[in-house]
Every structure is written in structure tokens, then in C-alpha cells.
Structure 1
Amino acid sequence: MRFKHIAHARALALSASALTLCLGAQAHAQEAAQEQAAEETGGISEIVVTAQKVAENVQDVPIAITALTAERLENAGTTSLEGLTQLVPSVTFRKGTTSANSAIVMRGVGTITFSVAAEPSVSTVVDGVVLSRSGQAFMDLVDAERLEVLRGPQGTLFGKNASAGLVNIVSKGGTDTLQAEGRAEWYEGDEYRLRASVSGPLADGLTARVTGFYGSYDGNITNIYGGKNEKINGYEHYGARGIIDYDNGGSKFRLIADYFKANDDCCADVTTVSRGTALDKELGLPGGVAQGLEQRYVNHNLVTQTKDRQWSLTASGDFDVFESHTLSVVAGYRNWKNEEIREGDFLPRALVGTDQLHDNGEVRTEQLSLEVRLASDQTKPFFYQVGAFAWGSNNQQDFTRSDVKCATSTLPVDPLTGAQPCNLNDTVNTIFPTATSFSDVKSRNYAVFGQATYRFSDLISLTGGLRYTWDDLSFTHTRAPGVNATDGLPATGAGINDNPAGGKISAGGNGTNTSRGSSNNGNLSGRAVLQITPSDDVMLYGSYTRGYKGPAFNVFFNHTAPTNAVPIDEETSDAFEIGLKSQFLDNRVQFNAAAFTVTYNGFQANNFVLLNGAVVSNLTNAGSVRSKGFEADLLTVPVDGLTLRASAAYADAKVLKFNPNPSTNAPDARNGTRLPLAPKFTWTLGGSYERDLGGFKVYLDSDFRHVGKQFSDLGESGPIAAYGIWNAGLGFSDAEDLYRLTFHVRNITDKSYALLNVSSGQRLQIPRDADRYFGVSLRAKIR
């Protein structure tokens, strides 16, 4: 893999490392307090979360929530949101060829679409700022103090694009004493990661934190094109983050600035079943045959790549007002650019009867948001919070599809493969269909919301909340019919049609190269919760939540009027949930459980249609679906130093009634079929052990995750077999844990699996940890 910015990135990482070596520090105050509390009780540390926009013990929050601390993320080797699937059974992940097309799925529900005028069902919130596109969330986790995974609709307090769940990321801030930390990691396959941070006081009440990071990996797939045997599906990531905190007792203020850059040659679709004798030989695969899940080779003349650049500014403050109230303000700006370079025919060249298809697209997103909340004293029998929210997002996409096509060729049949290649120099028999599109989408969202709780007694409390949301969405999409790149004459090819964006007049379009659409929508959503607390260690709750996801449009290269100008209506959900949160045996055992049923009406889902020989996606109000099931989490500390974990999730996520596809007037998913990426049963088992051996400490951490059978797409197509992954780490540190050396092994049993199955097994997405690999990390703190 060739990286353009390696010198810059290494300089960044080395500069941060130098700062680490020059500075000393004390332990982080909150971490130290939690560790001390656990030592004093000999039990489980309390985790404070902001799942309801105020600070609460996670065990007191009447929501199905998993809170992951920085230490837990570090021990598990979780560096991005993709790693949540190893830690939270209810979460699955849809891996696209680019981060813009990837998505989080929770309880079997998520939004999978290529459209730039649609939003996710699982929202991501970073330091109080809601991200507009799911692809923005798949950056490296830098200085995360904790991750809060909230399951089920969370629209009352967090907004419209949280109809299936939410991931809330909270960053570490400045510290009252000077401290520094550095981390270096190496894994098999030439994977390197460097990270360093410095934090401390700047003035009275003013603290800061600065972090730099760099990581690279060659990849787990070999591209044999041209005999180069080049490793692909790797990455290069680097960036920096700075935080300033001010606290004078009555007022708190935080300013965050960050920059993230990614150059990934990921993710190539691997051919894993036969495409016919000639094409199999064209692929030049070892042994001349596809090897199913064991396939680690491709033969592509274009390497699929993703390039991300993101920077943001966040300002937030909490101010004591009216003697017993807190006024909170969060303002955020995010700028994201994503470039996709995609191999679409998955072959080394164009052949007679088999077109070459290459894509290049760039998405540019700007968003600006402001939220203001007023919260009363949470210790009173009656407490509340009210707020207002304004959010705007501008999304633009340039996209080019380029084909090579020939029905006959002046070149001879290749005797090695039996296929006849197109002659690229013969512009009579070989044509080069191409088309370019430009999409411009503007989204505006305004809301007012409130939630109040009344404690009738120490035993019973009732919470109610409402949110009124107003959406404005508009788009302009420009694309001319396909032409031959050599002479400009009309031409079609794989995935390139002869329709203008405005659609043919004969089909109800306007015949122009531009289509437009707009939609606005208002919605009232909310929740009601009955909470019963029979003792300090047991809490029961029952809730009803009305969720909402705003309208959308099909705005992508493939789509034409009049169908793309028809708004995809709002998606609403009705969720019922009962739950238990408990601690017992002197806080050495914690058991939480929840049972739920959620029905989605107007569910926004992808259909797939055939366009000039290429399968393209079509977002639509698919109908109604339902997800029902249960979740359970067990955490226990039977003896000091030993922590055992077990989690399970069962989600029966199915289509109740499927609407016909408006492009074909026929459904492609039967009623009763399971939703994509929705395994029925997933469970994890794990544990951590720490022991002082006199002068040094030893650490052992291990987790096993089992994922049941699932499907890649609607209609139960693209089956993915069940699999289980076992990871472990063994670490050693000095007595004060200033220096820790850890040895890692991922996928101990060497179990191969796929994240995505495309075209009935013809292509698979094979992730990094589908093979066993080893690594080592060194973390140093200087106090």
C-alpha cells in the first residue's frame, strides 16, 4: 500500500510522543475515584452516564443501556465503532465498500442506503452533537471516556434519527494535574498504531488535553493483478484532537477541535463462488477456483479505496441559573468529505459480453447544530428539563460511472482463460459508456422537547416526555443520459441507462437532465416510563416510546424522475419495554435485563432492482416490520481482581407487511422474512483477571462472541452462517501500572467468516479478524 501522507503522520505522532516523554502527571480524578470506590466495596465500580442528558448512575436509568469505559475499550482493543459488535450483542454492523455506505444495526433494525438524502436509524452523538450521516461515525475513537449504547427509540431527548437506538460518545477532558500517556501497538500484517496525549492545568479553573494518533495496516487481501501481489483492504489513519475545559464552580465550559484523515484501500469484494469457467480463470485465483470463506485473493485492475477527511468544532457549557437550575448549551460544526473509488465488475479487464464498471464518487457534508436545555434540580421529587434544537446539513455528491463494453473484439480469445478481451484501442467495436451526476441536498430540522419526572415516593416514579419535530428536506439532482466517452454519442452499459435525471417524458418525467424534490413534515413523539425501586439495589421499569425518523429521497446516480422526486415518508415506531436493573451480594453481582417489542410503520429500507445489467438499490417505505426479544447482562466480581461478564440478546426482527417496490410494482421480500443483518441470537462470554505478584502485576482479559445466522439483504438473500470469535490478551505492568506490556491474540480458533454476502455468495466482505493474528502493545504513563 502506498500512502501519500506518511511523513506528515509520523511527524505528528512523534511530536506527540516527545511531549509525552517530557511531561508527568497524576491519575485521572474520575478514574481514581471509581477505582477507590471499587476497592473500598470490593465490588463493581459505578459508571455515570448522560443517557438522559443529565449525569446519572447507569443503574438508575430506565433505559436498556450498555456503558463501556475507556479501560474496557482499551482491554478489548476497540479502536472504532465497528468494534462495538464484539462487546454489545444487540449491535451488528453493515460493512460497505466505503464508510459512507456503512451502518450500525441495533436489535435487527438499521438504515442501509446509498442516498445522500436519507439518515440513519441508529444515531451517533459525539460530545452532544448529533452526526447527520452514519459514515461520519466510523472514525477512530480518540480519548473516549466512555461509550453509551442506548437500545430502542431515543427520539424524545436525542432527535429524529434515533428511531432504533443511539451511540453516545463522551470524550476525556482536561485534568487538574499534569499528566501524559503514550501507546504503541504492533500486529501481524504490518499493522502499527501510535497514540499520545498530554493534559493538565493552564490557569485557575482552566485545563486542557491534546492528543495525536497514527495507524496503518497493509491489509488482509492480496490483489494479484499484474503479478504484483499487493496487499489491500488496509488503512492509514491519523489526526489530532484538542480540548479546553473551564470550571469556576457555577459555570462549566468546554471547547473541542479535532481533525481526522483516512486513506483506506478498503473494502474489496472477494469472489468466493464460481462465476463460470472463463471468468474463474480470468480471476487467476490460486488453483483456478474460488475457495469460499477461505478466499483471500482478488484480481482487480482498480483497487477499491475510501478517503475520509473530517474536522469539527464543538462548544458546550453548563451554567447554574435560577438558584436550582442548570442551563446547558451545545453548539457544533462538522465538515466531512468522503471519496469512494470502487471496482464494480471485480475482474482484471473488460471482456466480450462482460462490461467493466468503475465508480468514483465524492460526498461533502457540512452540518451546524445548536441545542439549549434547562434542567431543574434532579434531587427534588419533581424535576424536569426542557429544550430547543436547531440543525442544518448540506450534502453534495459528485459521482462518475465509467464502463468499457464490447460485443465483439479484434483481439483473439485468450488461450489461458478462454475469454476474449475487449480491445481498448478499437473504438469502433469497443465503447466507453459514462455518465456523471451531481446531487445537492439540504436538510433542516427544528425541535422543542421536554421531559419531567415525579417521584410519588421512594418506591414509584413516573416520567413523561414529548418532542415536536419539524423537517425541511429538498434536493436537486443533475445527470444526463449515458454517452460514449470517445465521441459523446448516446451509449449505455452496466449500471448506465439512457434516462435523464428528470426522467423520460413517456414514463412521466420532464425529459430534462435535472430533477428536484422537496418535503416538509411535522411530528409529535414521546415516551412514558413507570419506574419502581423496591430497594437501593433493585429497579424495575416499564416504558412506551413513540419514535420518529424524518422523510427521505432517493438521491443517487442511478435514480431518475418521477420516482426519485416522490418523498419517502416518515418512519414511525411504537416501542414497549420492561426492564430490571439490580445489584446484590455486596455489589459483587450486577444483573440487568430487558424485554421489548418495537413495531415500525413506513419502514425505510432498500429494495434492489436490475438496471442495465447491474443491481442498484432503491430506498422505499417498505411497509411495517417488528423487532421483539430480550437482552440480559451479567457482571460479577466473585473475588477481588476477577471480573466475569456474560451478555445475551435475542431479537426476532421480521417483515410484517411488505409494500410493492414502486419501480417494479412487485415486492422482493415476503411477509414474515427476517430483516437483514439481524441474527436472532447473539451472546458473549468474557472475563478479566488482575493480580499483584509483588513488584509487578499481571492482567488477563478474554472474550468470546457468538453470532447466529443472518442475511445480508431483504428477502432473506445473502445468507451469512453463524460464527464465533474468541479474543484474549495477557499483560504485565509495574506495581503502579505506569508501564504496561500486553500481548494480544485475535480469533484464537482461526474461524473464518463474512460480514456481508453479496449476489448470493458471489462476493463476500472478509474482515481483518476472519483470520487469527497476534500483536503486542506498550502503554506508558509518566507522573
Structure 2
Amino acid sequence: MTYSKARLGAALTGVLAVALAGGTAHAQDAAAPEAQDGGVADIIVTAQKREQNLQDVPLAISVVSGAQLERGNVNSAEQLFQRVPTLTFRKGNTNKDSALSIRGVGTISFSSGVEPSVSTVIDGVVYARTGQQTSDFLDVERIEVLRGPQGSLFGKNASAGVINIVTREPGDTLGGYIDASYYEGNEFRVRGSVSGGLGTGIAASLTGFYAKYDGNGRNVFNNRKVNGYEHWGVRGKLVFEPNDDLKIAIIGDYSKNSDNGYADSIGTVFSSAFNNAVFIPSLAPLTLDGRNKNIDNDLDPYTRDKNSGISAQIDLDLGAATLTSITAYRHWFNYQQRDGDFRSDAPRYVNTGTASGDVLSHDRGDLSFDQFTQELRIASNSPQFLEYVAGVYFYKTKEVDFFNRTVTSCTASTLPTANGLTPCAAGSSTYVTNQGNADFTTKLTSYSGFGQLTANFTDAFRGILGARYTHDKVAYDFVRTSTSAAAFPGVNPGFAAAGSISDNGWSGNAGLQYDLSDDVMAYGMYTRGYKGPALNVFFNMRAQDTGRINPEKSNAYEIGLKTRLFDRRLTLNLAAFYAKYDNYQANFLDLVAGQVVTRLTNAGTVSTRGIEVDFNAQVTSDFSLNGGFNYTDAHINTFNCPAGAAIACAAAINGKPLPFAPKYKGTVTADWRLPLGLEAFDVDLNSSLVYQSRTQFDINQNPNAFQNGYAIWDAGITFRTKDEKYSISLLAKNITDKHFVIQRIPNGTSFMRQITPRDADRYFGISGRVNF
């Protein structure tokens, strides 16, 4: 960079240290409701399909505002785990392989025949795949993270929890904003939005963004940056209210992501004959340690996503109740490629006798995914003895996949053998290239009926009862062709199969809620969770993979206390939980054609238990704090080894932690509007601290597949005019330069791959905003 990084870093760190010395705080959002009598502002959520005060909802919920996301440079679900203690994110080599976990529970799989355990809902529309919502957040008002199974009202894909994203409503008055940001490492972002009335009862908004980042690693083969991106997208919302009883909202969006990562950077290579003689020398000049972010690939990592959709929500006020219809169609396209041998000079030798040999391996694939959803529900309006929400839901998806693996090996050479190795070179050696091509289609059809009743026995005492019935059908057809009749590295011979499975399931909840006072509410809840059947449809599918994966069922218990203390200057919410999952759907690392692959299976029984704390404190009118802490013990009770598995398993991992389930995690976000008494502008200092304990990434409990505990400190300073029309902010991320990864993947016994996120290095940035 042309400016003095050291001076900027020293200045920011010094100012931010002063902020922390005086107390760090959560900034006051211009869009947030006004706090009452100097207390904490009420937070309105729609976690139960209607607008309610967060403190009145008998559920454990974390809420993050859109303003908080923007201040912290949190732009996607990939970074959201930094703001929600109970949430973890698993980044794959491509967005299609990403996964979210809540309370240590989530579904990690490469299969097209399984659904996520954490449901993502944006403006009432369920996103059927985690990869669909890895695009940048756009025009977000708030994000509600519902923790634990949501058996009645959400149901679909919600056996571990729900991420409910609500976008901003267009205003009647013409207005908008434009902001631009630049961050160290040549990352910049531009966003803009305009909204306003188009006539009587009609308002609309249009928001767009563009973002680009070079990356935090380098491919030494061609000197290109990796782990960067180029994203852009638009979102429009039209709201028509012809009278007080009818509201129609139509939303359309389109986004395109191009990512040159995440790259499989080699972190550790273990000593072996093949590694010492071939693999380690091939990786020079890489530094093979835990901080390596560079690669040596002759095929650059690359993934491209296109997401688009349109939805229509109709709300009709019938007087005693409101009838709501949400109709939506979404499309997702994904392309991915990767270097499967992790080096640029393979093959250098005739087959070395290892399981995989000295080979060149390249993967390329794409998918096209379509979904249609329809929800129709009715909800009572005014408070009454029996309040209700009831409805029906229909859901249909189709995914069409193609995947190619090309493997080249040296089978003979006329060059002399030395130290047991026969080198290969053009003109003196025989090379053989084999390919495996898989075409497969997966369809899911689901429909359900649901309802929840709240009985107000007294003004302070309530009972809750809900149920949901779901029918799922999963169908597939699969064809893999191969140029070889025998298995070659990572590829089985040709195979074809087709079939379908179906199942029915009940889920629901029951609980009690009691107001101990106007500011203290206690609740207890039982939830029966359900996630439908699945199939292990993936590139290396074999006959043993055609069997059904049974539905995942859970019994969850939660007790909680929601409080407003000290004249409502502090909200303090506590929850204790326990959940047991039977037929847990999980990935198991196995060997196929000499290479490690992941296989979906009913892993057995797992459980999760813990304690969660959320708080929000308005210490003074200019100084506030918020955050949370959780203790989670998520572990494997009994693991069922898949039939025909090549890798030993079962009892050795019973009692061990689930992957991506740190025991301790906490966040604190803070903001301080400096009482400088300046006439022209205000100065805000903000900061956040995130801590996460040691995390295991492998269900097989590989002793090297973990991330040690770490803490990340971010901070910033904002100069804002009194009318809030103009602002400029300076931001420091990961001030202590703490290196961490969000995944380590064992690849056999020889080495590990690691994936390094953007925020695993210290960097600084500047942003400006104009509101009009």
C-alpha cells in the first residue's frame, strides 16, 4: 500500500485502546426503536411468525442488527459466527459444500440428497441449501438466530435451528444512501440503496452492491492471488397497500459470486517414504507450517455462483386474524474446480507404491438448483385467551449435477531408477489419463401442515402447544462413466442407479411461560425435532450408498429466563438446554479407490447440552454494551460404523466432541458516543471481542484436525455529522493479528489441508457513507 500502514495501525490502535479503557460499546442504530426512559430499546422479532418483543418470546434467540453488521464489515453468513456465540460456520472448497451449526449440531455433506440442519429463511422464504445464502448480505434490517430445534412453525431444515433474515422495508419518503469502503489487501466494497413512495399506497426500494478482494494467499505456480473474490448483486422490493387491510410485497434479487478460493493450502506434512521423497520436494518453495496460506497448483481453485429469486407475500387482515400467503421461486447455479493432487509437477515418478500413487488429479463440476415454495397461514391478531398460528407448506426442489475427475499417472519410464524411484519425463515415459464423469439428478418434494396455540390462562401465565406433520419424498438417478474398468485414484468404475425414498414425521413443541413480574419472564419448553430422510448421492457413489438415510429425530428441552433490570437499562437472558438426536445424519471419512472421501450416514446418537447468556446494557445514553456467552457440550453418544467402511470407527469416538462444536464461545460488542460537545459532528468509538475455545473439525477425531482456542479483537472510530447525513469510519480487524482457520481436513495419514478466512490476519480499512 502507498500510505504508511504502520502509522495508520498505530493511530487506530491507540485511539481504540482509549475507547476500551473508557468502556467498549454497541453503537446506537439510527434505524432502531427509541429506548424508553434511557433504557435498552425494545427489539421486535418475528420468530413465531408474528411481530413480538424479543423479551416476550419463550425461545432462545440472538439478534444482530443490519447496522451492527455494516460497522463490523460482516458481509455474509461466513462471518456471522463472529457475532453469534452459538453459531459456527464450515467453509468448503466451494460454496455448495458450506455448512452451518447451532449448539454444535449441523449437517456437513457433499451429497445432493440431504438437507441442512440449520434453516436459512430470508423474508419468509426458506433457502433449501446452505450454499444458496453464502452471497453477501443485502439491505438487512436484522438477523434472528433461533437456537435449537424449531419443530412447529419452521420445521423444514430446522432440526438444529433457524437463521431468520429480515430485510428493510421501503419508506414512503424518497431517500437512500451510498457507502464505499476500502480495506488493506486491496479489498473494496460499494453499496447503494434508494427507496420511496411511487404513489398512494405504493413504496419501493432498490439496493445494489459490488465487492472485490485480491485474496490473502498466492499460487506460487503462476504467482496469482488466491482466497479472493468478486461479488455483485441487486435486490428490489415493491410494497403495495391499497387499504388498511391488505399488503402485498414483491421481492426480486440477483447476485453473482466469483471466488478464487478457498484454496487447499498445505499446513502439515507427516514423514513417510512418499512424502519425504516426492511430496515435500514437490511443494517447494512453500513453507509447510500452520500459518501457510499459499499453494502450488497447476489448476487454480475457482468457484462461481449465481443466485436469483422472486417472491410475493400477501397479508390480508380479516379483523380477528391475518391471512398470509408467501409464494417463491429460486434458482442457484454453482461451478467449481480444484487441484486434487495439491501440486503443480505431478506426476514426477512411476507409481510409487502408495495407495494413490504419484498422480495429477483435477476436479471440475457444476450444479443447477431450482426450488418452489408455497406457504399459507393464518394468525390471530388481538390478544385473547387462545392465540393461534396455523398453516400449510409445500416445497419442491430439483438439483442437476455434473462432476468430472481427470487423473494422469506415469505407468512406465526408460529413465534409470535411483533410491527406489523411477523418474518420469516427456519423451522417455508413458503417461495414462483416466476420467470419471458423473451425471446425477436429485428431486425433493415435501408438504406439511402446522399449528401452534398459546393459551393465556391468566395475564401472567401461558401454555404453548404446537405440532407439525411432514411428508418427504427424495428421488434420484445417477450415472457415472469411467475410462477404466478398474478403480483409479479417487474414482470407482462406472456405476448407475436410480430410486426414491419417502417418509412421514411428526414434530412439535409444548411449554409453559410465566411472567414473574413486568420485567422478568420464565419459560420451559419441550421440542420434538424432525429432519426428513436422505440419500448419499455423490460423485463416488457405489451400490452400498444407494440405501436410505433414515430421518433424524430429536428430543430437546430448554428452560430460560428473560429479564429487564435496573430500570430496563439491562436486558439479561439465560437459557439452559439439552437435546438428543437419533439417526444423526453426518459425514464419515472413508477410503474410496485409495483416497479419503466423505460418506453420508446415520451416524448414530449424539447429544448437546449447555448454558447460554445474552445481554444488552444501556449504561448511559451514549454508552452501551451487548453480547453473549455459551457453554456447549456437544458429543457423540454412540457412533454406528457404516457397512463396508474401509476406515475403522465406532467405539473409539464414542463420547468425543462433535465437529465444529467449541465448548466455550463468547462475544462482546461495545460502542461509546464521545461526549465532546462538538457542534458539527459526533464521534463514535466501537469495538468487539470474540473468543472461541479449541474446536475439533473431524468426526473421526483425527488428533491434528483441530483449531486451538483464540480471541479476535476488532475496533473502529466513526465521525458523523449531527444530522447523520455524512459519516466516515476507520476500522481495525483482528488487532492482535491472531491466525486461525475455520477448517482442517485430514487427507489420509500424510498431510492436512487448511482453509484460512479473511479475518485471520490483522488489517485496516476506511469507509464513508452519505444518506439522502
Normalised to the residue count of structure 2, the TM-score between the two structures is 0.91
The secondary structure found in structure 1 opposite 2:69 is helix
State how 1:664-683 maps to structure 2 within 5 Å. Answer: 664=645, 667-668=649-650, 670-683=653-666
Determine the C-alpha separation between the residues in 2 that align with 1:619 and 1:63. Answer: 31
Aligned to 1:468: 469
- Tell me: CA distance 1:530–1:492, structure 2 relative to 1, closer, same or farther (3 Å): same
Which residue of 207, 211, 230 maps to 1:236?
Answer: 230
Residues 405, 422 of structure 1: 8 Å contact kept = no
Deviates more, 1:664-673 or 1:435-444: 664-673
Deviates more, 1:693-702 or 1:549-558: 693-702
Determine the C-alpha separation between the residues in 1 that align with 2:613 and 2:590. Answer: 39
Q: Report the alpha carbon displacement of residue 702 of structure 1 after superposing the two structures with TM.
A: 0.7
Residues 649, 700 of structure 2: 8 Å contact kept = no
Q: Report the alpha carbon displacement of residue 229 of structure 1 after superposing the two structures with TM.
A: 2.0
Matched, 1:318 2:301: no
Which residue of 555, 568, 584 maps to 2:549?
Answer: 568
Aligned to 1:198: 194
State how 1:589-738 maps to structure 2 within 5 Å. Answer: 589-664=570-645, 667-668=649-650, 670-691=653-674, 693=676, 694=678, 695-717=680-702, 718-738=705-725
Determine the C-alpha separation between the residues in 2 that align with 1:54 and 1:43. Answer: 24
- Tell me: CA distance 1:315–1:413, structure 2 relative to 1, closer, same or farther (3 Å): farther
State how 1:70-89 maps to structure 2 within 5 Å. Answer: 70-89=66-85
Q: Report the alpha carbon displacement of residue 384 of structure 1 after superposing the two structures with TM.
A: 0.5
| Identity between Structure 1 and Structure 2 (%) | 40
Aligned to 1:141: 137
Q: Report the alpha carbon displacement of residue 410 of structure 1 after superposing the two structures with TM.
A: 4.8
The secondary structure found in structure 2 opposite 1:74 is helix
State how 1:90-101 maps to structure 2 within 5 Å. Answer: 90-101=86-97
The secondary structure found in structure 1 opposite 2:732 is strand
Q: Report the alpha carbon displacement of residue 331 of structure 1 after superposing the two structures with TM.
A: 0.6
Determine the C-alpha separation between the residues in 1 that align with 2:336 and 2:379. Answer: 43
Aligned to 1:439: 440
The secondary structure found in structure 2 opposite 1:87 is coil
Aligned to 1:486: none
After superposition, give the CA deviation of every residue in 1:739-759 in whole Å (9 maximum; x if it has no partner): 111111111000111111111
Q: Report the alpha carbon displacement of residue 413 of structure 1 after superposing the two structures with TM.
A: 8.8
Q: Report the alpha carbon displacement of residue 78 of structure 1 after superposing the two structures with TM.
A: 1.2
Residues 405, 493 of structure 1: 8 Å contact kept = no
Number of aligned residues: 722
Letter in 2 for 1:462: G
Aligned to 2:299: 302
Structure 2 unmatched ranges of 5 or more: 1-27, 353-357
Deviates more, 1:431-440 or 1:405-414: 405-414
Letter in 2 for 1:670: I
Determine the C-alpha separation between the residues in 2 that align with 1:493 and 1:564. Answer: 19
Determine the C-alpha separation between the residues in 2 that align with 1:430 and 1:224. Answer: 25
Structure 1 unmatched ranges of 5 or more: 1-29, 484-488, 502-513
Aligned to 1:504: none
Q: Report the alpha carbon displacement of residue 285 of structure 1 after superposing the two structures with TM.
A: 2.3
Letter in 2 for 1:175: G
- Tell me: CA distance 1:201–1:762, structure 2 relative to 1, closer, same or farther (3 Å): same
Determine the C-alpha separation between the residues in 2 that align with 1:607 and 1:201. Answer: 54
Which residue of 730, 743, 765 maps to 1:756?
Answer: 743
Q: CA RMSD in A?
A: 1.9
Q: Report the alpha carbon displacement of residue 76 of structure 1 after superposing the two structures with TM.
A: 1.9
Determine the C-alpha separation between the residues in 1 that align with 2:426 and 2:433. Answer: 9
After superposition, give the CA deviation of every residue in 1:70-115 in whole Å (9 maximum; x if it has no partner): 1121122211111211111101111100010010111001000000
Q: Report the alpha carbon displacement of residue 407 of structure 1 after superposing the two structures with TM.
A: 3.9
State how 1:79-478 maps to structure 2 within 5 Å. Answer: 79-225=75-221, 228-247=222-241, 248-274=243-269, 276-277=275-276, 278-286=278-286, 289-292=287-290, 294-321=291-318, 323-351=319-347, 352=349, 353=352, 354-410=358-414, 422-423=424-425, 429-478=430-479
Residues 258, 304 of structure 2: 8 Å contact kept = yes
Matched, 1:523 2:505: yes
Residues 674, 685 of structure 2: 8 Å contact kept = no
Residues 285, 297 of structure 1: 8 Å contact kept = no
Q: Report the alpha carbon displacement of residue 45 of structure 1 after superposing the two structures with TM.
A: 1.2
Letter in 1 for 2:523: Y
- Tell me: CA distance 1:434–1:383, structure 2 relative to 1, closer, same or farther (3 Å): same
- Tell me: CA distance 1:177–1:414, structure 2 relative to 1, closer, same or farther (3 Å): farther
Q: Report the alpha carbon displacement of residue 564 of structure 1 after superposing the two structures with TM.
A: 2.1
After superposition, give the CA deviation of every residue in 1:303-361 in whole Å (9 maximum; x if it has no partner): 1111000110010011012x311000001100000111111111112222321111111
The secondary structure found in structure 1 opposite 2:361 is strand
Residues 410, 423 of structure 1: 8 Å contact kept = no
Determine the C-alpha separation between the residues in 2 that align with 1:635 and 1:31. Answer: 14
Determine the C-alpha separation between the residues in 1 that align with 2:659 and 2:223. Answer: 34
State how 1:500-511 maps to structure 2 within 5 Å. Answer: 500-501=494-495
Determine the C-alpha separation between the residues in 2 that align with 1:406 and 1:108. Answer: 44
Residues 320, 381 of structure 2: 8 Å contact kept = yes
Matched, 1:542 2:524: yes
For CA contacts below 8 A with separation 6 or more, give which structure has more relative contact order. 2
- Tell me: CA distance 1:208–1:739, structure 2 relative to 1, closer, same or farther (3 Å): same
- Tell me: CA distance 1:408–1:730, structure 2 relative to 1, closer, same or farther (3 Å): farther
Q: Report the alpha carbon displacement of residue 565 of structure 1 after superposing the two structures with TM.
A: 1.7
Q: Report the alpha carbon displacement of residue 592 of structure 1 after superposing the two structures with TM.
A: 0.4
Residues 67, 147 of structure 1: 8 Å contact kept = yes
Determine the C-alpha separation between the residues in 2 that align with 1:334 and 1:166. Answer: 19
Determine the C-alpha separation between the residues in 2 that align with 1:60 and 1:419. Answer: 71
Residues 588, 700 of structure 2: 8 Å contact kept = no
The secondary structure found in structure 2 opposite 1:162 is coil
Determine the C-alpha separation between the residues in 1 that align with 2:214 and 2:597. Answer: 30
- Tell me: CA distance 1:110–1:411, structure 2 relative to 1, closer, same or farther (3 Å): farther
Determine the C-alpha separation between the residues in 1 that align with 2:771 and 2:462. Answer: 45
Aligned to 2:491: 496
Aligned to 1:26: none
Q: Report the alpha carbon displacement of residue 370 of structure 1 after superposing the two structures with TM.
A: 0.3
After superposition, give the CA deviation of every residue in 1:700-720 in whole Å (9 maximum; x if it has no partner): 111111111111110222122
Residues 334, 366 of structure 1: 8 Å contact kept = yes
Determine the C-alpha separation between the residues in 2 that align with 1:662 and 1:356. Answer: 31
- Tell me: CA distance 1:419–1:280, structure 2 relative to 1, closer, same or farther (3 Å): farther
Q: Report the alpha carbon displacement of residue 493 of structure 1 after superposing the two structures with TM.
A: 2.3
Residues 282, 419 of structure 1: 8 Å contact kept = no
Determine the C-alpha separation between the residues in 1 that align with 2:414 and 2:181. Answer: 53
- Tell me: CA distance 1:539–1:180, structure 2 relative to 1, closer, same or farther (3 Å): same
- Tell me: CA distance 1:411–1:268, structure 2 relative to 1, closer, same or farther (3 Å): farther
Residues 151, 529 of structure 2: 8 Å contact kept = yes
Aligned to 1:506: none
The secondary structure found in structure 2 opposite 1:457 is coil
After superposition, give the CA deviation of every residue in 1:621-679 in whole Å (9 maximum; x if it has no partner): 01000000010012211111111124111110011111121232853552101100111
Which residue of 531, 536, 541 maps to 1:559?
Answer: 541
The secondary structure found in structure 2 opposite 1:202 is strand
Q: Report the alpha carbon displacement of residue 422 of structure 1 after superposing the two structures with TM.
A: 4.4
Aligned to 1:479: 480
